[in-house]
Amino acid sequence: MTDESPKYPAMWETAIAVSTAVAAPVAAAAGEADALSVVQLRTRIRGGLPPRALRRVREFIETHLEENISIRTLATIAGLSMYHFARAFKQSEGMTPHGYLVQCRVRRAQDLLAATDLPLSEIALASGFADQSHCARRFREHVGVTPSSYRWSMR
């Protein structure tokens, strides 16, 4: 058997047929949709949180953003142990639960900075940060500018 011939020819032919079928453009109701590669299809199917649990966790985070949210609480909402939840969440979202929480808080701060004239200290608390310094540090890490510079640029 050479290196170029597959070990299981029937399985190889089936894999190529599936790959071709998945990679071909699929007609959607509204028009042509982009095709999924086999790798994208595999990552969507295997592992991570179930869609319903992920939706419940996201909704909880959005509604309780200004509060102190523990991983234990999020794991309970998803119905998993803390360790299993953290691994499944990272597989689903591509970041840790804490990273996602900080990202959501920075987005909330961005929205409040652009839409209101509240002081930065109040925006930090309304976004769920412990204080203005913590908010400014995380904001600068995620956005690249300070909150006051961001507010000034949005005017």
pLDDT tens digit sequence for 10-48? 655 666 665 555 555 444 444 444 444 445 544 455 789
111 lies in some domain:
yes
Find the CATH number of the domain harbouring 139. Answer: 1.10.10.60
User: CA angle, 57 as apex, 54 and 59 as ends, to 5°?
Assistant: 110
The whole domain housing 38 covers: 9-45
pLDDT at 47: 83
Distance between CA 63 and CA 66 in Å, rounded?
A: 8
**Predicted local distance difference test score (pLDDT) of residue 8:** 60
Residue 2 lies in a domain: no
Give the pLDDT mean for 45-53.
86
Residue 4 lies in a domain: no
Cα–Cα distance measured from residue 100 to residue 143, given in angstroms and rounded to the nearest whole number: 14
CA distances from 35 to 14, 22, 76, 93, 104 (A): 19, 7, 36, 21, 30
Q: Which residue has the higher pLDDT, 87 or 2?
A: 87
* Residue 79 tokens, joined: 């119905």
Residue 27: what are its φ and ψ, rounded to 5°?
Answer: -75, 125
In a domain, 107, yes or no: yes
DSSP structure string for 141-155? HHHSS-HHHHHHHT-
- Give the pTM: 0.70
Task: Assess contact for 142 and 103: CB atoms under 8 A.
Answer: yes
If one counts the domains in the chain, the total is: 3
Residue corresponding to tokens 């999020």: 74
Domain identity same for 85 and 128: no
In a domain, 17, yes or no: yes
The size of the chain, in residues, is: 155
Domain membership of residue 1 (yes or no) is no
Please report whether residue 112 resides in a domain. Answer: yes
The DSSP symbol for 68 reads: -
The residue type of 1 is: M
Q: Tell me: the pLDDT tens digits for 91-139?
A: 999 999 999 999 999 999 999 999 999 999 999 999 999 999 999 999 9
Instruction: Name the more confident of 60 and 28.
Output: 60
Q: Is residue 139 part of a domain?
A: yes
